[in-house]
């Protein structure tokens, strides 16, 4: 009986392997899509915070916050960031208070005298309020799309900062080569062509449409590329505000380990110096 069953098990195993190989070949030979052919990897982006010795450029962060406030905040929130955190960007206490009170959305509160729901102006201790009350309101205002919170965006996407910068500067018309190779491919109404977005089409219109869209307080020329780079640097900070402290702690740890290794080697040689090998 065993002699009969063993070959059958072997044949079954071989059959499964053949099916798996056939499935792999079939998958590999699937026709290319417009997304596969024309999607681009993010362009490299140099920021002051890059690398193990990176530090934030506070002037650039303030410019990036200005771009976020004047352009991005209409649709996207940074709800994980508190107003008082802006002190890390170089704003003083008075400026932080002024920014909090100037923010258009007020915080929900309760009237202490009546107990009725009320609103109050933002305090430095408050987090940046959400733009929309819920997902339904967000969809209604954005053609059924929900604008994501940007607090952790550069951590939530592959190639983080480079992806955000490339996406902001990657809008354009669908190239003729796309239409030629994929005649059925068209950018649907309400979507916008962007070769750095995985599906080539996204619901967000170009937020940085032209040079000079923001007038920088420090006089920096506000080209589309400069604004995209500045707001990306700001979003790197919102995602990892303690980056400089982490770099400093890491460098201190490496120096400590090097010193410890040196002392260990010295102690070893001192203890065994009179021992003959």
pLDDT digits (tens, 9 = 90+) for 189-247: 889 999 999 999 999 999 999 999 999 989 999 999 999 999 999 999 999 999 888 88
Average pLDDT of every residue of the chain = 87
Residue 26 lies in a domain: no
User: Is residue 102 included in any domain, yes or no?
Assistant: no
- Say whether both 67 and 152 belong to one domain: yes
In a domain, 3, yes or no: no
Residues 218 and 271 in one domain: no
200: left (phi over 0), alpha (psi -120 to 50) or beta: left
Please state, in angstroms and rounded to a whole number, the distance separating the CA atoms of residues 124 and 91.
12
Q: How confident is the model at residue 88 (pLDDT cuts 50, 70, 90)?
A: very high
Provide the domain count of the chain: 2
Find all residues with CB under 8 Å of 55, minimum gap 6, and list them. Answer: 48, 49, 244, 247
Whether 235 and 267 share a structural domain: no
Mark whether 165 and 273 lie in a shared domain.
no
Query: Does 85 have pLDDT greater than 90?
Result: yes
What mean pLDDT is predicted for residues 106-130?
81
Residue 37: predicted pLDDT: 81
Query: Rounded to whole angstroms, how far apart are CA atoms 239 and 151?
Result: 6
Percent of the chain whose pLDDT exceeds 70: 87
Helix (H) or strand (E) holding 192: strand 192-193
Question: Binding site, residues?
Answer: 72, 75-76, 204
Q: Do 174 and 55 fall within a single domain?
A: yes
| Residue 162 included in any domain | yes
Domain assignment of residue 220, yes or no: yes
Question: Does one domain contain both 174 and 38?
Answer: yes
What H or E segment, with its residue span, contains residue 107?
Answer: strand 107-110
CATH code, 46: 1.10.760.10
Same-domain check for residues 207 and 160? yes
Q: Does 135 lie in the same domain as 180?
A: yes
251 and 200, same structural domain?
no
Position with higher pLDDT, 91 vs 17: 91
d(CA 129, CA 107): 7
Are 46 and 144 found together in one domain? Answer: yes
CA distance 86 to 54: 19
Q: Would residue 113 count as lying in a domain? A: no
Range of the domain at 254: 246-277
pLDDT at 91: 96
The reported pLDDT for the residue numbered 156 is 92
Annotated binding residues for heme c, written as ranges, equal: 72, 75-76, 204
Same domain flag for 70 and 154 = yes
**Structural domain includes residue 273:** yes
Are 232 and 267 in the same domain? no
206 lies in some domain: yes
């Amino acid at each position: 009986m065993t002699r009969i069953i063993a070959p059958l098990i072997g044949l079954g195993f071989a059959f499964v392997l053949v099916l798996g190989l056939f499935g792999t070949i079939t998958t590999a030979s699937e026709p290319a899509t417009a997304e596969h052919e024309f999607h681009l990897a993010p362009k490299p982006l140099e920021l002051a915070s890059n690398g193990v010795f990176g530090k934030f450029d506070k002037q650039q962060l303030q410019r990036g916050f200005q771009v976020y406030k004047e352009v991005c905040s209409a649709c996207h929130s940074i709800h994980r960031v508190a107003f008082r955190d802006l002190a890390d960007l170089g704003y003083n206490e008075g400026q932080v208070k002024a920014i909090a009170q100037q923010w258009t959305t007020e915080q929900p509160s309760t009237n202490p005298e009546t107990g009725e729901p009320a609103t109050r102006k933002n305090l430095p201790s408050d987090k940046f309020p959400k733009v929309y009350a819920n997902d339904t309101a967000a969809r209604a205002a954005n053609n059924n799309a929900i604008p994501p919170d940007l607090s952790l965006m550069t951590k939530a996407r592959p190639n983080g900062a480079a992806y955000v910068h490339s996406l902001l500067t990657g809008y354009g018309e669908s190239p003729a080569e796309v239409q030629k190779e994929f005649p059925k491919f068209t950018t649907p109404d309400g979507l916008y062509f962007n070769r750095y977005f995985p599906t080539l089409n996204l619901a967000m219109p170009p937020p940085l449409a032209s040079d000079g869209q923001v007038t920088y307080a420090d006089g920096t020329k506000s080209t589309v590329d400069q604004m995209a780079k500045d707001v990306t640097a700001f979003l790197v900070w919102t995602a990892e505000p303690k980056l400089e402290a982490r770099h400093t702690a890491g460098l201190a740890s490496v120096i400590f380990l090097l010193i410890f290794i040196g002392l260990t080697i010295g102690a070893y040689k001192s203890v065994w110096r009179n021992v003959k090998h």
